[in-house]
A and B are shown apart, each in its own frame.
Chain A
Amino acid sequence: MTSDDPDLVGRAREGDQVAFARLFEQYHAPILNYLHRMVGDRAMAEDLTQDTFIKAYNALPSTRPDLAFKPWLYRIATNTAISQLRRRKIVQWIPFLPGHDHASDQSVERSVSRKQDIEQTLSRLPQHYAAALLLRHYQGLSLAETADALGVTENAAKLRLFRARKAFAEVYGTAEPLGVPGEWEAKG
């Protein structure tokens, strides 16, 4: 949280649209990216980002003056994302788009970067684990902020992070690297 936050939050709580706009500018991209990693779909992440800020705007007047805005906003985003993930309908199939030649990108096909492995592994984790890891490492929240954003105590957040890292390590260590069909089959 920047030094401007308390003042901005206070003014936004009193209905200052300019102050809220400043807060929105400050947290728009982080929240969007966080939600993007949570739901894995940019369009959906944008929708959820919009929902998050509108919810925050509506709820601000009823918050306490000592509100920690940043973790509070992330908590709204997390709850919004998880609620959406519970009821969303998505297509999980990689489309076969005409004119889009998947196999032409040989570099992608043959060498899977660590980044992709991490993204993929993260996508396989339960959402509450992924949320904890993303808040802590991707968004750079402190342990206290992460706990606040998750709505749990610091000890509970520490335990959740431990379990999330363990789950990540298990999936990460055993994940099937994405490769060409021949490689995929050869694993059998």
Chain B
Amino acid sequence: MISHDRAQQLISARMDAPLISGEHHELHGHLATCESCRAFVTSADDLARGLQVLPRLAPSPAVSRAVMAAVRTESSGWDWLRQGLQALSSPGMAVASGLALVVALAGAMIVALTVPGGGDGTGADPEGSIAAVTDAPLPTAIPTEIPAPEPTASRVAERTISAPPTQTPKETPPRPTATRVPAAAIAAPTAVQVENAPIEPATVAQPLIEAAAEQPALALAPDDGAAAPPADLAQAVDEPAPSDEVAAAPELAPEAAVAAEPAPAETAPESNDNGRRGDGSRKNNNDGQVAPADAAVAPVATEPLPVPDEAIAALENAGASPNDLTLPPAPVLPMPPSQAFLPITPTPVTDGTPTPETVTQAEAPQLADEWSGELAVTALMPEAPDATIVESEEITAREKRDKSSKEGKSNENQQSATNDGAMGWSMSAIELPQDAVSFQTTDDAAATVTPADTSAVATTDTAATDTTTATDTTIDDASAVDPAPQYDPVTGYQIDATTGLLIDPVNGYLLDLVNGLVYHPGTGYQVHPFTGLLIDPVTGAQLDPVTLAIVIPAGFGSDQPAYLPGDDAMRGLIEASVDETYDNATYKVIPPTDGPVQPVGEIVVPTTSGDALEIID
């Protein structure tokens, strides 16, 4: 006989893969005698089936637009720079760079050995040195050994911007360029032609390796070639460089060269650039097809690649990286003065229920009497309206509420009172005993919410259970003084004399059958139809009917509307954090900042154990 745990493991495993025969028999044998494991089977099957049929949302057009816009932005912004850096760090490029470094060092040694005065540090005539170098034999095999070109186009663009074009030491021949190759070594008729003419695509697309092999002198740039980074050398080998403007003006700034470049997009090579254009943007597979047919014919210029306009723009706009897609949080809107509200703690709305005017200061505050001590929680403290305190707008609102109350518009009154801030009640912080810090869990609260218990906590179940006893100083006592209780002929329920609502004989709640609402008699708060908790009309928080502690509703984590700062329908905020194991959550109740509120404190609740909260501070 297998254990329950083993059986449940098998039950779970069978949902992911078929059990082997032995396991199957073991499980069936166990299930035949174990009711709890059969219940687990039912639960697991319910879970699997239930999840499969959960409703699904349609794709969001807004998300589609946002994502594709972000993708486009990513491509046209800094992406090319990042990809260029990635290309630089690729293994192939590292090999190429190393080989280029070897070539450069070998060339430097040759220069030192063959050129009179070269390398002696005397500052010999550089022109003479260059001429000597260009005449010297060079290791022509080197360029052809360079590995397959890595994506370099974007890197070229990057280098073009950051370094002057005079650093390209190779591609000597046909054109005198920024390399300052002596005129005798140039002898390139194309240089003059290109100077004032647009670039021919075929010229741009020439395979550079071939050109380098034909003109090995490119690897030796005596003046600055040795100082050039090896990566640049390697890169230059496989990069086409349509530079006409630089040939005419070697000292031209990179930006100027770019501005004068006629058609950079067409000059991008179709080499193995790993899908990126020279500007780093992501390309489609259909574009940029430039055939290198005439590559062997036309010599290659030595200028760096032109920099695309968008790349220039991206650099000019540096500091506004498109990668930063995170929007700052929306500021909390200030609450209009007219919507200022009372503390987050329960603030009864009495419309539609017994009004504060019917209860004296000494009659109502049983909760306050019970709770005393140190706790940063304010509790219900009804008090008579003070004409010296109540603002004129509150008076107006109360008149409005009373008028509506007479018309029986209890629900509207509640909302109106909430919106107008005319509570007719005021809240004051009281000292709560430390032992009151720990409130009941929901289950405990549910277990204690019985008619008998509610009568001990300022609620009036007496109307339902004993309407003749008028000893409790509760709100419903107002109805108790009615000598002749009225009963609804349809339901048989007693009618509350003050509100005209029916009194639920089970729990004493006030039933508004017209609007389908239920009210808690002690506080006047609406009872949430799903959770059975009381709804604080000011904060929107749900309260335990017995302790009036704020309770995380059972629907925690479910689909709730977003918090709207300043919205009267939802007030307050709970900041939630979960520990590393996700087993416990900490909720910090943050009251709105735009009213005279009292902090509630930090709340800790085990995620899986229930809904009620424990106020620890």
A interface residues with partner B (beta carbon < 8 Å): 11, 14-18, 20-21, 24-25, 28-29, 32-33, 36-37, 39-46, 49-50, 53-54, 57-58, 61-62, 85-98, 101-104, 106, 109, 114-115, 117-120, 122-129, 133-134, 136-138, 140, 143, 158, 161-162, 165-169, 171-173, 176, 178-188
Contact = CB atoms under 8 A, between A and B. Distances in A.
Given A165-B44, A181-B518, A92 B552 contact: yes
Given A18-B284, A119-B558, A50 B446 contact: no
Given A92-B587, A103-B529, A128-B582, A50 B40 contact: no
Nearest to A58: B74
Given A15-B275, A114-B50, A92 B574 contact: yes
B559 A42 contact: yes
Contacts of B44: 165, 168-169
B570 A95 contact: yes
B552 A114 contact: no
B46 interface: yes
Contact of A41 (B60, B70, B530, B562): B562
B308 interface: no
A124 B577 CA distance: 14
Interface residues of B, number: 110
Contacts of B561: 91, 95
Contacts of A183: 532
Interface in B20-79: 39-40, 43-44, 46-48, 50-54, 56-60, 62-64, 66-68, 70-72, 74-75
B43 A168 contact: yes
Contacts of A24: 64, 67-68
A137 B80 CA distance: 41
A14 to B, nearest CB: 3
Given A92-B587, A167-B608, A97 B569 contact: yes
Contact of B517 (A20, A42, A101, A165): A101
A60 B576 CA distance: 32
Interface in B517-532: 517-518, 526-532
Nearest to B73: A54
10 contacts: A24-B68, A62-B86, A88-B576, A92-B560, A93-B572, A103-B515, A124-B557, A136-B16, A138-B51, A182-B507
Nearest to B450: A188
Contact of B607 (A97, A126, A166, A184): A126
A115 B86 contact: no
A101 to B, nearest CB: 6
B540 interface: yes
B51 A181 contact: no
Contacts of A25: 59, 64
B437 to A, nearest CB: 20
A101 B67 contact: no
A140 B537 CA distance: 43
Contact of B39 (A45, A104, A169, A171): A169
A54 B529 CA distance: 41
Given A127-B582, A188-B449, A93 B527 contact: no
Given A15-B75, A120-B555, A182-B507, A43 B67 contact: no
Contacts of A188: 446-450
Given A89-B590, A124-B608, 10 more contacts: A17-B75, A53-B67, A89-B563, A103-B516, A104-B515, A124-B607, A158-B16, A165-B47, A172-B43, A176-B446
A73 to B, nearest CB: 13
B499 interface: no
B360 to A, nearest CB: 29
Contact of A101 (B71, B284, B516, B540): B516
Interface of B: 8-9, 11-13, 15-17, 39-40, 43-44, 46-48, 50-54, 56-60, 62-64, 66-68, 70-72, 74-75, 83, 86, 274-276, 281-285, 323, 325, 411, 415, 418-419, 442-443, 446-450, 504, 506-507, 509, 515-518, 526-532, 535, 537, 539-542, 552-563, 567-570, 572-578, 581-583, 587, 590, 607-608
Given A15-B282, A119-B558, A86 B577 contact: yes
Contacts of B283: 15-16
A14 B151 CA distance: 11
Given A50-B67, A118-B54, A40 B573 contact: no
Contacts of A176: 442-443, 446, 554
A127 B578 CA distance: 10
B52 A46 contact: no
A33 B70 contact: no
B526 to A, nearest CB: 7
Contact of A28 (B63, B284, B449): B63
Given A182-B504, A184-B446, A96 B540 contact: yes
B443 to A, nearest CB: 8
Nearest to B556: A92
Given A29-B58, A181-B527, A49 B570 contact: no
Nearest to A56: B67
A102 B528 CA distance: 8
Among B56, B274, B574, max chain A CB count under 10 A is at B56
A143 B16 contact: yes
Contact of B62 (A29, A46, A91): A46
A118 B53 CA distance: 11
Contacts of B568: 98
Contacts of B529: 102-103, 109, 180-181
A109 B528 CA distance: 10
A171 B537 CA distance: 31
Contacts of A125: 608
Nearest to A20: B71
A58 B62 CA distance: 20
Nearest to A182: B506
Contacts of B526: 96
Contacts of A54: 67, 70-71, 74, 325
A133 B47 contact: yes
Among B51, B581, B607, max chain A CB count under 10 A is at B51
Given A42-B559, A89-B574, A98-B415, A17 B569 contact: no
The 9 closest A-B pairs by CB, nearest first: A15-B282, A14-B275, A184-B532, A123-B557, A169-B43, A103-B516, A118-B50, A126-B582, A162-B12
A158 B13 contact: yes
Contact of B51 (A133, A158, A173, A182): A133
A58 B17 CA distance: 35
A75 B531 CA distance: 34
A106 B66 CA distance: 40
A129 B563 CA distance: 26
Nearest to A157: B16
Nearest to B557: A123
